[in-house]
Amino acid sequence: MNQPLDVLLTKLASIGRLLPEYEAAIHRLPFRVVELDRGKPAAMEGEVVNHCCVVLTGLLHRQKHMLDGNRQILSFHPPGDIPDLQSLHLRKVDYTLAANTPSVIGLLRHADMHAMLRDHPGLTGLFWRDTLVDSARFLTWMMMIGQASAEARMAHLFCEMYVRLEAVGLIDGRAFNFKATQADLAAAMGMSIVHANRTLQELRSTGLLAFSNGVVEILDWQRLCELAQFDSAYLHLSDDQAGT
Amino acid sequence: MNQPLDVLLTKLASIGRLLPEYEAAIHRLPFRVVELDRGKPAAMEGEVVNHCCVVLTGLLHRQKHMLDGNRQILSFHPPGDIPDLQSLHLRKVDYTLAANTPSVIGLLRHADMHAMLRDHPGLTGLFWRDTLVDSARFLTWMMMIGQASAEARMAHLFCEMYVRLEAVGLIDGRAFNFKATQADLAAAMGMSIVHANRTLQELRSTGLLAFSNGVVEILDWQRLCELAQFDSAYLHLSDDQAGT
DNA sequence: CGTTCTTTTGACTTCAATCAATGAGAGTGG
DNA sequence: CCACTCTCATTGATTGAAGTCAAAAGAACG
């Protein structure tokens, strides 16, 4: 059965135990499909929402603006993610969620999700866990932005995208799609566009990766991880799924 | 009734609706009191835990180390916080939780908490919400570290501490205890110690605040907020507590 | 009181931001 | 099909913010 929400199931299975009962419940969930052009918002800072969205294809990102207009990209969201799952309990969103690439999303009504979670408390734990993994990624990003060199930061971002996309089967050999512009990368890593460009050139010239036209190819995973000081533990893929 | 966990109730009430039924359930929760000297860890990076801790007095912080030894302080936790609440569903912790000030904490066994949440699904929502507010703070920190000037970052930290401490009644006039060293502030804001020192001097000399011997006094809240571009919305105090 | 931790200062260096152009490609309309 | 416009990537020159190094001065603590 090839249904739109399958990628969500893959994602959930990658971070926890997904019982057949839960799969069935999720497949019963009503959703509305929406297409987004690049740059178009799915949720705006300050808005109060009563639905969340699951990424079906494409790539979304969250960003937050300072009062003076500067923006920080907080995270990227490949298919399978529910970037605004926290809106279930924090209905006023405090970031902008936008399409980084032309994307297709599915809108899930809070009411439907609450009903589903009420009937399946174990699924509540899995969704909660998903928001916690989200949070764990922020910890690592914060550490990288605060402490790592520009080169390490940039390398780390590519490492993370590689591992996360692999978890949902979106890696083709050693290459994957990542259409973020250099301005996006700069906003994500807290550096200027010019510096992002030069940092990328550094990574390319040392033969760690290729990146052009929105396609990344990892050329030396080993050295890339070393440079990035990358340890995928923080993504909590298939580690303790203990539960009670 | 003046019980050790009262400060936890105050904290929970500040971010959501705390029913009498929930208060009673929390007061029935068994816990073990532990005292921590400054610097002593309550949880270590990589450890698998089966309890979490509620801060009763003092101040804890979370920090994460890069492979090369650099550390980033991720958050500070005044009384009422459960800094490692996420361990309920992410049992392998990926940060170190340590006492920033000599502190007293209460250890809560996961098993007891799971049992309590099973009996009170609405309380599950409130605890979930707490972890989401935690996460929302990371978003803002990340934005500040990535985009703001050193002065704005530092000012923002003091603004946040003020508002959070006020929510649990730990502000004395315009002053509050905050015994972090300048090395801690530097590690929290992603800057060098020397620069943290100079940034603090800047804040003092412009008459925005006083800070010495672990006591902060806000001298000009208005201007401090402006400089920090501080907007407390991200702390989600008493905003939408909608639920289903 | 000596030891250790923390704060502060000055001098110097470097990483990264800013400013200012120039290319390179993709899409549009005449 | 070719100008025209956009956006995005790239480069060089310059400036500036923040890091590093080193040392001194205070505080805190047995």
> How confident is the model at residue B244, as a pLDDT?
34
Place of tokens 């807290």: A190
Does the beta-carbon distance from B234 to A91 stay under 8 Å?
Answer: no
Cα separation, A236 vs B85, in Å, equals 16
Q: Is the same domain home to A122 and A230?
A: no
Residue range A183-235, pLDDT digits in tens: 999 999 999 999 999 999 999 999 999 998 899 999 999 999 999 999 999 99
Question: Which of B123, B153, B171 is at the close of a domain?
Answer: B123
> How confident is the model at residue B243, as a pLDDT?
41
Q: Is the same domain home to B10 and B112?
A: yes
Q: Is the same domain home to B119 and B145?
A: no
**Closest alpha carbon to B59 in B153, B201, B170:** B170
Q: What is the CATH number of the domain that holds A94?
A: 2.60.120.10
Residue range A132-148, pLDDT digits in tens: 999 999 999 999 999 99
DSSP string, A16-85: S---HHHHHHHHT---EEEEE-TT-EEE-TT-B-SEEEEEEEEEEEEEEE-TTS-EEEEEEE-TT--TTG
Q: Is the same domain home to A10 and A89?
A: yes
Task: State pTM to two decimals.
Answer: 0.95
Most A-contacting residue of B45, B90, B119, B230 (CB-CB within 10 A), to test interface: B90
- Spans of chain B, pLDDT less than 70: 1-2, 239-244
Q: Is the same domain home to A127 and A79?
A: yes
Q: Is the same domain home to A20 and A137?
A: yes
Q: Is the same domain home to A182 and A85?
A: no
Residue range(s) defining the domain that contains residue A20: 6-142
Tally of domains in chain A: 2
> How confident is the model at residue A244, as a pLDDT?
35
Segment A10-24 shows an average pLDDT of 96
Amino acid at A73: I
> How confident is the model at residue B18, as a pLDDT?
94
Most B-contacting residue of A15, A90, A239 (CB-CB within 10 A), to test interface: A90
Assess if residue B128 is contained within a domain: no
**Closest alpha carbon to A91 in A42, A43, A48, A41:** A48
Q: How far is B18 from chain A (nearest CA, A)?
A: 14
Determine if strand D comes within 7 Å of the CB of B150. yes
Assess if residue A241 is contained within a domain: no
Q: Is the same domain home to A113 and A202?
A: no
Question: Which of A110, A142, A174 is at the close of a domain?
Answer: A142
> How confident is the model at residue A2, as a pLDDT?
65
Mention every residue, 6+ apart, whose C-beta is less than 8 A from residue A207: A219, A220
Place of tokens 């909590």: A236
Segment A36-65 shows an average pLDDT of 96
> How confident is the model at residue A4, as a pLDDT?
85
Assess if residue A240 is contained within a domain: no
Segment A168-175 shows an average pLDDT of 94
Closest-CA residue in chain A for B191?
A146
Q: What is the mean pLDDT of chain A?
A: 94
Q: Is the same domain home to A137 and A164?
A: no
Q: Is the same domain home to A121 and A171?
A: no
Assess if residue A1 is contained within a domain: no
Tell me which residue in A90, A115, A244 faces B111 most closely, judged by beta carbons. Answer: A244
Q: Is the same domain home to A112 and A128?
A: yes
Q: Is the same domain home to B147 and B223?
A: yes
**Closest alpha carbon to B94 in A132, A105, A118:** A132
> How confident is the model at residue A205, as a pLDDT?
94
pLDDT band at A239 (very low <50, low <70, confident <90, very high): low
Q: How far is CA B194 from CA A146, A210, B142, B182, in A?
A: 16, 38, 21, 9
Question: Which of B91, B123, B155 is at the close of a domain?
Answer: B123
